[in-house]
């Protein structure tokens, strides 16, 4: 599409804005109603460990959102000669789960508790037993029930409980709602009702500690919406929050707010049954859209939904790329000390390409990339560790392969349950995430680790905010009843290309040896968590 045509769409508000609050970056993407990317903006932020709670400052969230939007609006002005004043639709997504509790005066009762916390084990275990449904530690209901068990004084004051995406959406629109995919990480949902499971709500209400509370759970959770429904409109106050300059007009349609898992499914065209996707970043997760229910309850597998409400088996791990990023930063400092300045993509490319010529079992090296606790391995506290024996083969290629294997190890442990015990299979498994910006290498390592073919689409690099923008366009144009999967096939991915890599037998065997050593040494990781206090 030419510059003049895009400029006309910008003036007429024939656009959609997707905002995503990720673990390390807040990102915004603006697309036309024909799903052509116009401009993007980003802001770097980081979670903090405060009083043993992983959290983000909500003031920092707004600073990031406003910075993203200002960056994007400036690019629009520079590239298209248009002042951005009107949007057709807006969608917000963010890290799933966590705990944001507000009182009747809309005041935050305790600092935001993120998905990264492993502090709700007692509640998660009891709820899983009582509901007959896996409740992970990071789910909002686990945080709420743990707060009840801990007799935290704020609990009786709760008037509204939501996720980060739901909170931002509420502030922009004045509407307290949540997309069904994100809602399914707060409390189990019923696919047919497209709302919270009524039988499980009743079981929760009967718990002794819950009966003492002055509220009902269904009254404090946000109402649930499927993709394509209206989540309200951008309010005057919301427009001012998004664009403090005052240039942005209110009135844009607000799509239902979603979690980053949902936008990842959209960005990889993985919402149809028998499709799946893997997102890797600070955390990692795989999503398999199910044809039929799982045969058993598994503590390593969450049941969530697509943005249009189809059940999904999710394997979520808390730790993926954080340790790799720290090592890459160290190598970057070393290069700079030698007088060589390497841009990030070049630095990662140089490091990852060393994997092409190394021992496929990483030469006996072992790495634990646990910056925080990890549910799948029952690790309560994270302490990144690198271990070698006197006869391990220590070189750069083996070191980087150990880093990549470690980043995917917990995901493999969870995926093995899904594949080997539940016999779940997919027609295609697509992957996305910043690590894949180095072509072939990381994709091949992931295929070898999980022992399944991995596909990368040419659009996968667009990521979650683009996926949220697509959902915002869908909310504007699905009134004809077009299903989300058909909309993606016909309007978004019709001409998309992809590359699939098969697992290599010799590399698979090498990775199995690494995983065996990884499992054997988990007690070292546990001991480190107990023995080494955090450095503050």
Q: What is the pLDDT of residues 74-84, one digit of tens each?
A: 999 999 999 99
Which pLDDT score, from 0 to 100, does residue 479 have?
72
Give me the domain span that covers residue 390. Answer: 322-413+515-531
Whether 369 maps to a domain, the answer reads yes
200, 220, 240 - which closes a domain: 220
| Domain match, 215 and 328 both | no
| Domain match, 527 and 398 both | yes
Whether 388 maps to a domain, the answer reads yes
220, 237, 264 - which closes a domain: 220
125: Cβ contacts below 8 Å, ≥ 6 apart: none
Helix axes 396-416, 441-450, angle to 10 degrees: 40
pLDDT, tens digit, 9 for 90 and up, residues 204-247: 999 999 999 999 999 999 999 999 999 999 999 999 999 999 99
User: Rounded to an integer, what distance in angstroms lies between the CA atom of residue 338 and that of residue 335?
Assistant: 5
End-to-end CA distance of the chain: 52
**How much is the average pLDDT of 275-297?**
91
Please tell me the total count of domains within the chain. Answer: 2
Whether 489 maps to a domain, the answer reads no
User: Rounded to an integer, what distance in angstroms lies between the CA atom of residue 430 and that of residue 457?
Assistant: 7
pLDDT, tens digit, 9 for 90 and up, residues 110-166: 999 998 888 999 999 999 999 999 999 999 999 999 999 999 999 999 999 999 999
Which pLDDT score, from 0 to 100, does residue 56 have?
95
pLDDT, tens digit, 9 for 90 and up, residues 365-411: 999 999 989 989 989 899 999 999 999 999 999 999 999 999 999 99
Angle 292-196-470 from CA coordinates, rounded to 5°: 75
pLDDT at 460 over 70: no
Whether 444 maps to a domain, the answer reads no
| Domain match, 328 and 203 both | no
pLDDT at 461 over 60: no
**How much is the average pLDDT of 278-300?**
91
CATH number at residue 212: 3.30.420.40
User: Rounded to an integer, what distance in angstroms lies between the CA atom of residue 334 and that of residue 329?
Assistant: 9
| Domain match, 381 and 525 both | yes
Q: How many other C-beta atoms lie within 10 A of the C-beta of residue 121? A: 15
Using 50, 70 and 90 to split pLDDT, how confident is the model at 474? very high
Which pLDDT score, from 0 to 100, does residue 300 have?
86
- For residue 300, what are the CA distances in angstroms to 303, 304, 314, 371, 374? 10, 13, 9, 19, 11
| Domain match, 378 and 520 both | yes
Mode of pairing for the β-strands spanning 48-50 and 37-44: unpaired
Which pLDDT score, from 0 to 100, does residue 64 have?
97
For 99, which DSSP code?
B
Phi and psi angles of residue 476, each rounded to the nearest 5 degrees, phi first = -80, -30
- For residue 128, what are the CA distances in angstroms to 142, 181, 204, 443? 10, 20, 11, 35
Tell me the H-state helices in 254-365. 260-267, 322-337, 344-353
Whether 338 maps to a domain, the answer reads yes
Mode of pairing for the β-strands spanning 89-94 and 258-259: parallel
**How much is the average pLDDT of 297-312?**
93
239: Cβ contacts below 8 Å, ≥ 6 apart: 248, 249, 250
Whether 264 maps to a domain, the answer reads no
**How much is the average pLDDT of 334-345?**
96
Which pLDDT score, from 0 to 100, does residue 322 have?
92
Using 50, 70 and 90 to split pLDDT, how confident is the model at 459? low
| E strand or H helix that includes residue 91 | strand 89-94
Record the pTM: 0.86
| Domain match, 329 and 213 both | no
User: Rounded to an integer, what distance in angstroms lies between the CA atom of residue 24 and that of residue 322?
Assistant: 10
Using 50, 70 and 90 to split pLDDT, how confident is the model at 434? confident
Whether 501 maps to a domain, the answer reads no
Using the Cα atoms of residue 153, residue 159, residue 163 and residue 167 in order, give the sign of their dihedral: negative
Taking the CA atoms of the chain, what radius of gyration do you get in angstroms?
23
91 neighbors 16 (Cβ within 8 angstroms): yes
221 neighbors 192 (Cβ within 8 angstroms): no
**How much is the average pLDDT of 317-327?**
94
pLDDT at 14 over 60: yes
User: Rounded to an integer, what distance in angstroms lies between the CA atom of residue 36 and that of residue 223?
Assistant: 31
User: Rounded to an integer, what distance in angstroms lies between the CA atom of residue 407 and that of residue 140?
Assistant: 26
Which pLDDT score, from 0 to 100, does residue 432 have?
87
pLDDT, tens digit, 9 for 90 and up, residues 482-498: 999 999 999 999 888 88
**3-class SS of residue 530:** helix
Helix axes 140-149, 121-131, angle to 10 degrees: 110
Whether 201 maps to a domain, the answer reads yes
């Amino acid at each position: 599409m030419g510059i003049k045509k895009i400029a006309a769409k910008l003036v007429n508000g024939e656009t959609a804005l997707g905002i995503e609050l990720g673990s390390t970056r807040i990102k915004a993407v603006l697309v036309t109603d024909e799903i052509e990317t116009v401009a993007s903006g980003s802001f770097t932020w980081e979670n903090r460990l405060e009083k043993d709670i992983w959290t983000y400052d909500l003031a920092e969230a707004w600073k990031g959102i406003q910075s993203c939007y200002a960056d994007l609006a400036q690019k629009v002005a520079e590239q298209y000669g248009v002042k951005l004043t009107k949007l057709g639709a807006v969608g917000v997504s963010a890290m799933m789960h966590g705990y944001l509790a507000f009182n009747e005066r809309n005041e935050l009762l305790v600092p935001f508790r993120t998905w990264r916390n492993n502090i709700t084990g007692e509640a998660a275990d009891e709820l899983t037993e009582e509901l007959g449904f896996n409740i992970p530690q990071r789910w909002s209901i686990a945080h709420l029930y743990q707060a009840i068990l801990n007799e935290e004084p704020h609990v009786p004051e709760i008037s509204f409980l939501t996720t980060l995406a739901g909170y931002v959406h509420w502030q922009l629109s004045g509407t307290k709602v949540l997309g069904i995919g994100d809602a399914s990480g707060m409390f189990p949902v019923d696919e047919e009702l497209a709302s919270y499971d009524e039988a499980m709500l009743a079981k929760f209400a009967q718990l002794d500690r819950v009966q003492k509370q002055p509220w009902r759970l269904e009254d404090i959770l946000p109402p649930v919406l499927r993709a394509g429904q209206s989540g309200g409109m951008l309010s005057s106050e919301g427009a001012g929050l998004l664009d403090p300059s005052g240039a942005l007009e209110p009135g844009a349609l607000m799509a239902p707010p979603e979690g980053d898992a949902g936008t990842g499914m959209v960005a990889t065209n993985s919402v149809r049954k028998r499709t799946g996707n893997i997102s890797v970043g600070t955390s990692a997760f795989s999503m398999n859209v199910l044809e039929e229910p799982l045969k058993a309850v598994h503590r390593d597998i969450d049941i969530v939904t697509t943005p249009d409400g189809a059940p999904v088996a999710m394997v979520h791990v808390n730790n993926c790329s954080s340790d790799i990023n720290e090592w890459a930063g160290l190598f970057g400092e070393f290069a700079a000390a030698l007088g060589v300045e390497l841009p990030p993509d070049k630095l990662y490319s140089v490091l990852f390409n060393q994997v092409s010529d190394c021992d496929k079992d990483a030469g006996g090296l072992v790495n634990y990339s646990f910056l925080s606790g990890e549910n799948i391995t029952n690790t309560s506290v994270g302490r990144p560790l690198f271990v070698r024996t006197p006869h391990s083969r220590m070189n750069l290629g083996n070191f980087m392969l150990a880093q990549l294997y470690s980043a995917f190890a917990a995901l493999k442990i969870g995926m093995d349950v899904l594949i080997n015990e539940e016999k779940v299979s997919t027609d295609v498994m697509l992957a996305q995430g910043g690590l894949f910006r180095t072509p072939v290498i990381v994709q091949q390592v992931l295929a070898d680790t999980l022992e399944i073919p991995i596909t990368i689409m040419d659009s996968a690099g667009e990521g979650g905010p683009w996926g949220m923008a697509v959902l915002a366009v869908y909310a504007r144009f699905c009134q004809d009843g077009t299903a989300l999967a058909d909309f993606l096939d016909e309007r978004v991915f019709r001409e998309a290309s992809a590359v699939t890599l098969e697992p290599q037998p010799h590399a698979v065997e090498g990775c199995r040896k690494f995983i065996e050593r990884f499992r054997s040494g988990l007690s070292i990781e546990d001991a480190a968590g107990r023995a080494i206090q955090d450095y503050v």
